[in-house]
Chain A
């Protein structure tokens, strides 16, 4: 799935070293310490390749000429504004930005590569949001930060479709896909964890689960094994609503398990228990150690324990 793909994308840090580039033209502005690359721009280092329509390289301050002799030469060099030969501190890329590392790709309208922090930030520049791709899987967000040396990824307002977890349909109809949105996403490869925070929403068919925080865990093949929501969770499915402290979503079994004082509200029925399990395909609900109030239709309220 995409989160795992993003984790894999960062599996190997980009080796430090010089940057290779190609373009149709290169124009330098030594006083501004910038160089402009235009048309069919490609910047690469290690297995990282960034392509775009335009790029601007910002250079570090020039060091005085090494071999300068005499006061005049030293004075001239110290006050100079040389460019090539200085270190590139930062690359800004614009227009049809395409990032590739191995088989994974990202697309955006704008990108900023900071060589000091080793972070590549991708944005849509007011157009379409940046996209991270791995085969059929996609991750989008307002802002994608790729940490080239630590393997981590930060995404602002991520939107993800969990395609691999969708069951195959026998009649050829489109499977119900699980979609995740949040304000922030942090991908921690070392923990094989994707942490969503702030306004997390999981949708599948008519089901919506909301919470302040969710951890997505993966197996080694990159398949999602668990979506763990915590910090106060609310689930809605048609007329049915449930709340709990935690929710555990198993994408393979397509079951949602609520724990931590879970309570189910269903057309006047109110049930609590130790654990509430909802099958997302059949809509069957199991409540362990249930107690609550059932209100059969056309009948007076009946307590049940």
Chain B
């Protein structure tokens, strides 16, 4: 857990530079889109729904459709996406059975911090559009 947090700190540093750069966010979203089908769902269990919400929020954010996110929460969300997409994180993603365990830990942590933001975004999606 400690190691995972340390590895996540690196992703957060990168996330800070992404947060104000719509082009970088678009590229990150595109990468997530490409990898969406190859990332296994089992290690993430119920968190898959929140991970998908993070991706949709990032897209709505860089498009300027939705901006109702505090910077600190945005950075955590971007950091979590970067971490999950990075195949060379704490436990490399190609290690069978374990590769995504650290990703699930980080995602759970990020969801815990940003749940309200993600829930509010989902409500906006189903009421405002």
Chain A partners chain B: no
B residues whose Cβ falls under 8 Å from a Cβ of A: none
